[in-house]
Structure 1
Amino acid sequence: MTKKIIGVDLGGTSVKIAILDVLGNIEYQWSIPTDISDNGKNIVSDIIRSIQEYLLENSLSLGDIKGIGMGSPGKIDFEKGTVTGAYNLGWSKEQNIREQFEEAFGRPFYIDNDANVAALGERWKGTGDNAPDVIFVTLGTGVGGGIIAQGQLLHGVNGSAGEIGHMVVDEDGFSCTCGNIGCLETVASATGIVNIAKSFASQFDETSELRRLILEHQVTAKDVFD
């Protein structure tokens, strides 16, 4: 059997997991909810358990796995394999992700910022088509970006080269999970859509289903679009 690669996309709402061949072709993929309760203490163990269950159900051994790669929000020390400041996950303190995965699987583990990993993937298998220079923007629960120049991923100071979501665009705007006010992410993401909807709802006196959901603190970006 040819070796498999496991890819993990860790998001604030869900975790997407994929089994790939060494050429980057997806053979199977699934997702699990991201449990951000208790400062996200169960997130890594949930991912590990889900992968272990898949391997068991499909009669795959650890020897069949070439390596595991993860994209995560937050500040990543890709050399140490740690994550800090992933506030949308409840991770304000440093989390040693590599240590937990290598202990569970005994296979090489690589981690980088989710937008950086997405940029690499888009260059490898997507519209980037192995071009030397690629800029990739991610839109989801938050906003991120990855920059590839002359074939090299740019990390910048503190690994923040592509963190466009935390550029301040409105000094009097909404509070951001990073602690700043008015970041791009507070208006241009799924979170931003909810922020704007709540702002308008506070000025809307008539009855509406969306206003009811907002008042009950149950609204999502999908509700706003629907």
Structure 2
Amino acid sequence: MKVLVIDIGGSNIKILATGQPERIKIPSGGDFTPEQLVPLVIENAKDWEYEAISIGFPGVVKGGKIVADPVNMGAGWKGFDFEKAFGRPVKIINDAAMQALGSYEGGKLLFMGFGTGLGTAMVFEDLILPMEGGHLPFKQGTFETHVGNAAMEKFGKPKWKNWVSQAIAHFNHCFQPDQIVLGGGNSKLLDTFPSNCRLGSNKNAITGGFRLWEKPYKY
């Protein structure tokens, strides 16, 4: 099956279809809506063949449906009919979960994505478990308020790195994964991390989108 993967982000949309050599980036932004997304994707992918679509969405997805509009983009995502708009079968999954699936190599994997906030997900065999771990309480706030971009800008990189290390240790102790994949743009700033951690790549989100159609994952 030829699949078009759409990885939605607050700054850019990344798309790639089966057999194509390079991702295409499309600017998004704080007011970006699905009505803007669809024609831009169709235009940029007009020379590609695809039978189905995977969408990685930066927000809560349940049962393959977007349940709330994202805080860093425009409105209208909840309830939007992507299958009707694209005229193709569509699978929607949380973006951290899609990247976790693309990073998966077996066992029990925990994904932690450090960027604007904290994206978290787990994969174990055929089960993909999106989580909102960044909203769990930590110190006088949440993990997200201590390891997101805003915290790094306000308190500086040394303190941010310390909080990230604490976050990784807490999640490692709680979920007991075989491996932790550290993703998101800010993970590249880390100097050290536990032996069962490895750096991921944002390109793994695209891989996860392709894998989503390979077998009946539960998510």
The TM tier, using the shorter chain, reads 0.5 to 0.7
CA distance in 1, matches of 2:90, 2:8: 14
Deviation at 1:70, TM superposition (A): 1.1
Q: Deviations over 1:147-179 (max 9, x none)?
A: 112431125xxxxxx2221112132xxxxxxxx
Q: Tell me if 1:75 matches 2:73.
A: no
Of residues 93, 96, 109, the one that matches 1:112 is 93
Deviation at 1:106, TM superposition (A): 1.1
Unaligned runs of 5+ in 1: 124-128, 156-161, 172-181, 201-220
**What amino acid does structure 2 have at the position aligned with 1:134?**
L
Distance 1:88 1:170, change over 3 A: farther
Q: Tell me if 1:194 matches 2:153.
A: yes
- Say if 1:13 and 1:141, in contact at 8 Å, map to a contact too: no
CA distance in 2, matches of 1:167, 1:4: 38
CA distance in 2, matches of 1:186, 1:85: 20
CA distance in 1, matches of 2:97, 2:91: 12
Distance 1:31 1:104, change over 3 A: same
Distance 1:195 1:88, change over 3 A: farther
Of residues 129, 133, 136, the one that matches 2:111 is 136
CA distance in 2, matches of 1:191, 1:10: 21
Deviation at 1:90, TM superposition (A): 4.7
Q: Provide the alpha-carbon RMSD of the alignment.
A: 2.7
- The equivalent of 1:43 in structure 2 is 33
CA distance in 1, matches of 2:54, 2:125: 23
- The equivalent of 2:180 in structure 1 is none
- Say if 1:133 and 1:151, in contact at 8 Å, map to a contact too: no
Kindly report which structure 2 residues correspond to 1:51-90, keeping only aligned pairs within 5 A, or say none.
51-56=41-46, 58=47, 60=48, 64-79=49-64, 81-90=65-74
- The equivalent of 1:212 in structure 2 is none
- Say if 1:35 and 1:43, in contact at 8 Å, map to a contact too: no
Deviation at 1:45, TM superposition (A): 2.5
CA distance in 2, matches of 1:90, 1:196: 29
Deviation at 1:85, TM superposition (A): 4.9
Distance 1:43 1:196, change over 3 A: farther
TM-score (norm 1): 0.61
Q: Tell me if 1:6 matches 2:4.
A: yes
Q: Deviations over 1:185-207 (max 9, x none)?
A: 2221223322335xx9xxxxxxx
Larger-gyration structure (1/2): 1
TM-score (norm 2): 0.63
Deviation at 1:143, TM superposition (A): 0.8
The share of aligned pairs that are identical, in percent, is 26
Deviation at 1:94, TM superposition (A): 6.3
**What amino acid does structure 2 have at the position aligned with 1:30?**
I
